[in-house]
Amino acid sequence: MSVTELFDRAAGRSRMDRTTIRRPDDFHVHLRDGAMLQAVLPFTAAQFARGIIMPNVVPPVTTVAAAIAYRERILAARPQASDFIPLMTCYLTDATAPDEIENGFKDGVWAAAKLYPAGATTNAHHGVTDIPGLAPVFERMEKIGMPVLIHGESTDPEVDIFDREAVFMEQSMLPLLKRHEGLKVVIEHVTTAETLELVRAHARHAAATITPHHLVINRTSLFQGGLRPHLYCLPVAKRERHRLALRQAATSGEACFFIGTDTAPHRRTAKEAECCSAGVFGGATALQTYVQVFDEEGALDRFEAFASENGARFYGLELNRGTITLERREATVMAAVAVEDTEVVVFQGGQTLPWSIGEVSP
Ligand code: DOR
Ligand code: ZN
């Protein structure tokens, strides 16, 4: 067993005050580009060995050549001595060619492809308008064992924003899972109890990422004492019963659930605006938040599976070799990260969190 347990025996307490786990991966991260990339990458690289990099930059990463160039920019932006490995994804459009997918996967450039329903979220306007129409792409991915990562929300403007995930699951996800029974599907940033059940029912070829913020906030948090733009993301947080179901799923040890922070930085000026951009910057506090949830749920012994094993196994990646230690040591988190002439507000920033990051051994 690779979890190190250090019990405070002298004090007669049986609680675990530190846990050492295999180094984790973030299976859903937005690093952006340029000055923003420089500003946020150090936080993800300090916590995770590898990251599945979202392709919704401007312009979106739709070709192998663009992915190679973006990967180079990420590698160049890493802090000195960082060994962080970016794993690239292909932004699917109605025009994606099966050969572009297969060539990039076989060459080790693509780790997965990302499906945004057109217009569903930030920079998703080049996304897919006809999901069944992509059947040739999915069939090829099925054949080569390449996962598709799905932003599961209906884009029908008539659909209530709190029902968009549920409607998508019914109208698009279920038919897709049935039509492509060998396709590896990651349902990204799940937010409802019903989606968790759908994942479980298809766990032979489906899995889900769970963000730190959806384990901590519910939809009421968005309006606590006033409108909280820095808690607004997509899919939007749901009712308390869903948050509790997400906490249960994440901490259950089930192999179909794993980390995907969906850390999605936006400048303060874009968040505190007439029309606030969707996204929570959870990259600086992700592991501290996740481990706190596992601690509160009495599930620290299952943290390593969720953080460092389930995702890699689903993707067919080798498990990381190094370790990271999380310690029960209070620390006040920085409120914001500077980017050019503005800043990005940190999720739980300014708060004192009970867990901190300790030693990392590569
Ligand atoms: O809140 C979100 N922000 N959800 C997404 O799906 C995209 C992300 C972003 O890129 O800002
Ligand atoms: Zn995302």
Residue nearest to atom 3 of ligand 1 (CA): 279
Residue 281, helix vs strand vs coil: coil
Q: Which of 122, 151, 161, 213 to mutate to test the pocket of ligand 1 (most atoms within 8 A of CB)?
A: 122
Interhelix angle for 193-201 vs 240-250, to 10°? 40
| Ligand closest in space to the Cα of 151 | 1
Q: Residues 191, 210: contact at Cβ < 8 Å?
A: no
* Amino acid present at 212: P
Angle at 122 between CA 120 and CA 123, to 5 degrees: 95
* C-alpha 136 to ligand 2 mean position (Å): 25
* C-alpha 118 to ligand 1 mean position (Å): 13
- Look up 262 and say whether it is catalytic: yes
What is the DSSP secondary structure assignment for residue 334, as one 8-state letter? P
Overall size of the chain counted in residues: 362
- Residue 287's H or E segment, with its range, is helix 286-296
pLDDT attached to residue 15: 80
Site residues for ligand 1, CB cut-off 6 Å: 30, 56, 121-122, 151, 233-234, 264, 278-279
Q: What is the mean pLDDT of each run of 10 residues along the chain (362 residues)?
A: 49 76 98 98 98 98 98 98 98 98 98 97 95 98 98 98 98 98 98 98 98 98 98 98 99 98 98 98 98 97 98 98 98 98 98 98 95
* C-alpha 143 to ligand 2 mean position (Å): 26
* C-alpha 186 to ligand 2 mean position (Å): 12
Alpha carbons 109 and 73: distance in angstroms, whole number:
14
pLDDT attached to residue 3: 47
Q: Residues 169, 127: contact at Cβ < 8 Å?
A: no
Where do the structural domains in the chain lie, given as residue ranges? 24-318
Interhelix angle for 34-47 vs 64-77, to 10°? 70
Q: Residues 264, 122: contact at Cβ < 8 Å?
A: yes
* C-alpha 172 to ligand 1 mean position (Å): 20
* C-alpha 191 to ligand 1 mean position (Å): 14
Q: Residues 275, 327: contact at Cβ < 8 Å?
A: no
Residue nearest to atom 4 of ligand 1 (CA): 234
| Ligand closest in space to the Cα of 211 | 2
Alpha carbons 90 and 96: distance in angstroms, whole number:
9
Q: Residues 308, 25: contact at Cβ < 8 Å?
A: yes
Alpha carbons 350 and 360: distance in angstroms, whole number:
24
Residue 209 has which token pair? 């990422």
Residue nearest to atom 10 of ligand 1 (CA): 122
The answer, as to whether pTM is greater than 0.85, is: yes
In ligand 1, the atom with minimum distance to the C-alpha of 188 is: 6
Residue nearest to atom 2 of ligand 1 (CA): 279
pLDDT attached to residue 1: 42
Q: Which of 210, 262, 277 to mutate to test the pocket of ligand 1 (most atoms within 8 A of CB)?
A: 262
User: Which CATH number is 24-318's, of 3.30.470.20, 3.40.630.30, 3.20.20.140, 3.20.20.70?
Assistant: 3.20.20.140
pLDDT attached to residue 14: 60
Q: What is the DSSP string of 88-120?
A: EEEE--TT--HHHHHHHHHTT-EEEEEEPBTTS
Instruction: Considering the candidates 25, 26, 262, 295, report the single residue annotated as catalytic.
Output: 262
In ligand 1, the atom with minimum distance to the C-alpha of 280 is: 1
